[in-house]
Amino acid sequence: MFDALLSGASLVFVWPAPALLLAGICIGLCLGVVPGLSGLTGMSILLPYTFTMETGPAMAFLLGMFSVTTTSDTLASVLLGVPGTAASQATILDGFPMAQRGEAPRAFGAAFTVSAIGGVLGALGLALSIPIVKPLIMSFAAPEFVMLGLLGLVMVGSLSGRSILTGLAAATFGLLISMVGYAPQGAIPRYDFGFIYLLDGLPLVPVVLGLFAVPEIIDLSRHGRSIARDRPSSENRATLFDGVKDAGRNWWLVLRCGALGTYIGMLPGLGGAIVDWIAYGHAVQTSRNNDNFGKGDVRGVIAPETANNAAKGGALIPTLVFGIPGSPPMAILLGAFLIQGLTPGPAMLSYHLDVTMSLVIILVIANVLGAIALMIWSKQLARLAYVPGRMLVPGVTLFVLMGAWMTGNQMGDWITLVAFGGLGVVMKRAGWSRPAFILGFIIGPIIETSLHLAMQIHGFSWLTRPACLVLGGIVVLTVATSVYREVKKRRAKTEADAAPKRASDQWISGDPPSVAATSAILGLIVAAGAAFAVWRSFEWPWDSRFFPLFSAAPLVLLALGAAVRDAATLRDRPVGVASLAGDWRDGATLLWLTAIVLLSYLIYQPLAIVLAMASYTLIALKGRWKLALAQAVCGWLILVFVFGRLGGVLWHPTLISF
Amino acid sequence: MKSRGLVLACAFAVTTAVGANAQEPFYEGKRLDVLINYSAGGSTDIEGRLVAKHLAKHIPGHPEVIVRNMPGAGGLVATNHLGEAAAPDGLTVSYFTAVYEYQLLEDPALTIDLRDLEVIGGVEGVPINYIRKDAAPGIENPEDVVNAEPFLAAGLRPTISKDLLIRMSLDLLDVPHRVITGFKGNAPARQAVQQNEVQFYSETIPAYMSVVVPTMVEPGIVVPLYQHEVWRDGKPMGGEGVPDSIPTFYDLYKQMKGKEPSGQLWEAYDTINRLSTRMLRLIALPPGSPPEAVDDLRQALADLAKDEEFQRDAMKSLNFVPVFVLGEEAEAVMEEQLNISDEMRQFLENYVAEASAN
């Protein structure tokens, strides 16, 4: 093993591998920063350049890039409340509130430290678990995935936000939306309404960007203030180093989330989009004092950021040893291996062990260097939190639009973005948990596909498989603990509330009336939609109908329940139409986004985006034409050269051409 | 047909206008987009990028070549885009995994007629079917499959060529089996075979040679049963680069049944096999593209087939050299095989419905 480590090192440290490793790290850091771009984008762009390289440099380049995207994705999640990649969605929950309190540097310090540690743990996990990996991967088939999916789903209790009822409604809503497209059995498209775009189901990235990024753009545009609400005084300012200390103080959580990330990464098909949620849920459930989660608890940043870097080391194992790439980037990496003449299989652990070791070394170096680079760089970037909101809007919009567009180069991606943007705004105002929605949306297909396969292969006997029984036990335990905690919390609350107040003053969680009213209206609309979904499902054979029916039917009740309860709290406090509609600027921003989409049908897409950016600055910042011009020029260069030439983006065909 | 004529007329008008300086090659100073209907990193993509990289130097005028991916709906999104939305300017060429089955079944999700495309050529893709050796009562050689007890085969979606070929070939051999549909791709299906959740699967030659052989055949987990035959000059042949020890389905059938295959199921199998095995990938321009572009690209593909540097590169990265079906022959295969009788279409629809019903 030691020999292999040495010859592995020689693959990484021989010129030009170190230079390409550094180049890869830089590219990866940039890709992670930009919402919507990720390691997958990087893999597909960089792959062709490795065709002519030797093995060492090629791997250093690709893997160096890939391993740091989940380090730098923290920047957008914390600063903007927009997930930098799908693997850092959970980071928003506590990272963004920290930035709003002016603690962005502290969040960064913690996140970068644990990203590096997580990445190194993942790499060590890769090296150490080689002997035990075979039985682990081989024992996780479809039935176990059903249970893992359920385990993810029951964590919704820790993400439910304002109330359990709206949290469950949001999660079930996410489940139902994930049922769009071909049923797992594959012959019947569901809820496609004749759109070919919907046959594959709704893609994750535009949905996530719509739910999280569009509401932030709208908020920035409305109040025009910077993200950090107040500038902290110099003596109690949270620094990067505070974050590093936070990481040290929570070393046990870091270790657990590192292990969790590595093993989840190892299971093919579960993927990076879910590992952060599981780690976050784990942190909430195992912490004694968990009232602060969701309001800027640094542990809520530490857990997902450790796990998402650790997952990458784990993900290499099934790809290398069994030729089973667990995620699209791994599929490309497998392609890169084949191009290098390296075939996956047991030989990667014997004959080619040096190559495997070189991957471990690359992961370690890239994770450490990436974190150090970001520690230095983030000082400048953290100032973004103090830039007036409206100056950020055009740039953020450009990257959000392109992030969605890169999904499939089709108008459907933008329409999805804007539609879910609208939904995101309403859910945010109604206090419905968007993370719960996303969790349901991601996990729905995992459970449905696995359940379908498990039932076809095993009938009901899969329920008695040992691994399923163990996982099932954990599921039951998790539900029991969250119920127990909820009950305890309620009791404490009623005791505290009982004494002095009059009944009419009591709000369920102190919501302002407009939140309750929006929630009531949203509840009614969702219930109506769910009822329609139930009705539609009766056209299909039972195996295609099962899941839509069993998410839509409870959703009708949950959404109605939420609506009735929220409407009841409004009896004494009427809400004006004006406060419901919100600020006119919100509608204007959403219209502006819609206009970009419509304009792109007519004229060359980059031109439409650049025009929209410039006109926004001219109107919102009252004729600062120099700034508008500068933004337009930068935007144009980025669109045409970075996305168009390097990224291989296919622009929408235009009706009017010059 | 009317619109097709109109498009051709327009194309003619455009080309005669440009024809003024006919000396200059069509692609001089232009950029050719290679459109791939699956996402980056898949087998269509890796193969397509390799072909794109080497194709440029054989096209007169040496255009800049850029690869673009347009994944979605099992390749349909890009296919519809090429047939309907892409400008017929000769600057967008496909490298698609073709979707013939949608046309054969008249699925409304395919909104174009594949025969309207300007076909440049096709690429062979021979699927190799393999089974676990420990499938009861134990399988060492292809012939042993006749004694097999009921086993499970993996499938992706009941309407696609891959699943149809698996089901049809096993049905023709009268081997007891059940197809489990709904795997999300080759990787999960391969994993299920390794886990012994299912016992039988089929993969085309690049993935078979580079992934299945080292991870499953060499460790003695699975054994190849048969490859689907390629019809060249009216004869059923084995795929280029596939080990000779793997019999074609046609030969295995004759050996086991002692007669030539025939009947409606065989004819349906044969139609799908001739299309999807001989021309797994479809290289084409949008309908009504300039004839010079079609000619130049067809010639370039013919030259590429002989390019030794390309062959070396392909051998290194794919473990096999793609076999091209050139211009007119490719067009003929599509015209002939896509033209099926209503009776056959009905048969196919019923056959697919059987799989969806359970």
Rounded to whole angstroms, the maximal C-alpha distance in chain B is 73
Q: Is the pLDDT of residue B152 over 90?
A: yes
For residue B33, the chain A residues in CB contact (below 8 A) are 650
pLDDT at A421: 93
**Quick one: closest CA in A to B51, which residue?**
A48
Only one residue has tokens 């699975």, namely: B222
B214·A344 Cβ contact <8 A: yes
Q: What is the pLDDT of residues A11-58, one digit of tens each?
A: 888 888 899 999 999 988 888 887 767 777 788 778 777 777 888 898
B46: closest chain A residue by CA: A335
Q: Which of B191, B194, B154, B185 is nearest to B41 (CA)?
A: B185
Best of A37, A46, A410, A657 to disrupt the B interface by mutation (most B CBs within 10 Å)?
A: A410
The encoded tokens of residue A415 equal 């329409």
pLDDT tens track for B315-349:
877 778 888 988 888 888 888 888 888 888 899 88
Longest CA pairwise span in chain A (Å): 77
**Nearest beta carbon to residue B109 from set A196, A329, A334:** A196
Write out chain B in H/E/C secondary structure.
CHHHHHHHHHHHHHHHHHHHHCCCCCCCCCEEEEEECCCCCCHHHHHHHHHHHHHHHHCCCCCEEEEEECCCHHHHHHHHHHHHHCCCCCCEEEEEECCHHHHHCCCCCCCCCHHHCEEEEEECCCEEEEEECCCCCCCCCHHHHHHCCCEEEECCCCCCHHHHHHHHHHHHCCCCEEEECCCCCHHHHHHHHHCCCCCEEEEEHHHHHHHHHHHHHCCCCEEEEEECCEEECCEEECCCCCCCCCCEHHHHHHHHHCCCCCCHHHHHHHHHHHHHCCCCEEEEECCCCCHHHHHHHHHHHHHHHHCHHHHHHHHHHHCCCCCEEEHHHHHHHHHHHHCCCHHHHHHHHHHHHHHHHC
- Residue B317's closest chain A neighbor by CA? A339
pLDDT of residue A504: 39
CA distance A204 to A271: 13
Q: pLDDT value at position B3?
A: 47
* Averaged confidence pLDDT in chain A: 83
Distance CA B352, CA A450 (A): 22
pLDDT, one tens digit per residue, over B90-127 is 889 999 998 888 888 888 888 888 889 889 999 988 99
Q: Best residue in B36, B70, B130, B194 to probe A by mutation, most A CBs within 10 Å?
A: B194
Strand-by-strand arrangement of the B222-227 sheet: B177-180, B151-154, B200-204, B127-132, B222-227
Report phi then psi at B69, rounded to 5.
-105, 135
Contacts of A42 in chain B (CB under 8 A): none
Interface touch B214/A650, C-beta < 8 Å: no
Query: Any long-range contacts for B184-189 (C-beta under 8 Å, 24+ apart)?
Result: B184/A269, B184/A449, B184/B156, B185/B156, B186/B43, B187/A268, B187/A323, B187/A324, B187/A325, B187/A326, B187/A331, B188/A268, B188/A269, B188/A324, B189/B154, B189/B155, B189/B156
User: Is residue A78 pLDDT above 60, yes or no?
Assistant: yes
Task: Report the pLDDT averaged over residues A101-107.
Answer: 87
pLDDT at A233: 52
Listed range (A48-57, A141-150, A623-632, B212-221) with the worst mean pLDDT: A48-57
Chain B residue closest in CA terms to A332: B41
Alpha carbons within 13 A on the beta-carbon side of B309: 10
Measure A134 CA to nearest chain B CA, in Å. Answer: 10
Give the model's confidence band at A158: pLDDT under 50 very low, under 70 low, under 90 confident, else very high. low
Distance CA A340, CA A44 (A): 16
Cβ(A431)–Cβ(A161) under 8 Å? yes
The average pLDDT across A342-370 equals 83
Find out whether A118 and A265 touch, Cβ atoms under 8 Å. no
- Report the candidate in A309, A322, A227 with the shortest Cα–Cα distance to residue A272: A309
- Residue B6: its pLDDT value, please? 47
Put residue A271 in one of left, alpha, beta given phi > 0 → left and psi -120 to 50 → alpha: left
- Measured between beta carbons, the chain A residues lying within 8 angstroms of B208 are none
Q: How far apart are CA B116 and CA B125, in angstroms?
A: 23
pLDDT for res A527: 94
Beta-carbon contacts of residue B324 (< 8 Å; ≥ 6 apart):
B121, B122, B123, B124, B301, B302, B304, B305
pLDDT digits (tens, 9 = 90+) for B209-225: 888 888 899 989 999 99
Interface of B with A in 197-216 (CB under 8 A): 197-198, 210-215
Interface of B with A in 287-326 (CB under 8 A): 313, 316-319
Q: What does the radius of gyration of chain A's CA atoms come to, in whole angstroms?
A: 25
Cβ distance of A457 and B152 shorter than 8 Å: yes
Dist CA A547 CA A539 (whole Å) = 14
The CA–CA distances, whole Å, from B191 to A40, A267, A458 equal 22, 11, 16
Which of B44, B46, B315 is most worth mutating to test chain A (most A CB atoms within 10 A of its CB)? Answer: B46
Higher pLDDT, A420 or B158: A420
Which residue from B minimizes the CA distance to A445? B184
pLDDT band at A157 (very low <50, low <70, confident <90, very high): low
Distance from CA of B69 to the nearest CA of A (A): 8
For chain B, say whether A326 makes contact (Cβ under 8 Å). yes
Report the C-alpha gap between A209 and A214 in whole angstroms.
Answer: 7
Please state the rounded mean pLDDT for residues A473-492: 79
CB-CB neighbors (< 8 A) of A318 in chain B: 191
A132 interfaces chain B, CB cutoff of 8 Å: no
pLDDT above 70 coverage of chain A, percent: 92
Mean pLDDT on B27-52: 84
Pick from B159, B214, B316: CB nearest A343:
B214
Q: How many CB pairs under 8 A join A and B?
A: 166
Predicted confidence (pLDDT) per residue in A267-320, tens digit: 776 666 778 888 888 888 888 777 788 888 999 999 999 998 898 888 888 788
pLDDT number for residue A525: 94
Contact A276, A308 (CB under 8 A): yes
**In terms of pLDDT, which residue wins out, A583 or B329?**
B329
Please say whether the beta carbons of B181 and B355 come within 8 A: yes
Query: Are the beta carbons of A138 and A266 closer than 8 angstroms?
Result: no
User: Is B112 touching A (CB cutoff 8 A)?
Assistant: no
Nearest to B169 by CA among B86, B65, B286, B248: B248
Is the bond leading into A16 cis (omega within 30 degrees of zero)? yes
Taking an 8 Å cut-off on Cβ atoms, the answer to whether A325 and B187 are in contact is yes
pLDDT of residue B240: 85
Whether B187 sits inside 8 A of A345 (CB atoms) is no
Beta bridge partners of B178: B152
Nearest CA in chain A to B163: A186
A653 closest CB neighbour out of B85, B180, B318? B85
- Which chain B residues are closer than 8 Å to A331 by Cβ? 41-42, 187
Report residue A365's pLDDT band, with 50, 70 and 90 as the boundaries: very high
Query: Is B219 an interface residue toward A (CB < 8 Å)?
Result: yes
- Searching chain B, which residue's CA lies closest to the CA of residue A456? B180
Percent residues over pLDDT 90 in chain A: 20
The torsion of the CA quartet B197, B199, B200, B201, rounded to 10 degrees, works out to 40
pLDDT band at A230 (very low <50, low <70, confident <90, very high): low
Higher-scoring residue by pLDDT: A137, B324: B324
Average pLDDT on B26-51 reads 84
Query: Of A227-236, B147-156, B272-281, which range is least confident?
Result: A227-236
In this prediction, residue A496 carries a pLDDT of 61
Locate A336 and state its tokens.
């890169």
Average pLDDT value for residue range B3-23? 48
Name which residue leads in pLDDT, B174 or A507. Answer: B174
Task: Say yes or no for a CB contact (<8 Å) between A43 and B33.
Answer: no
Q: What are the tokens at A244?
A: 């590093």
Confidence label for B23 from pLDDT (cuts 50, 70 and 90): low
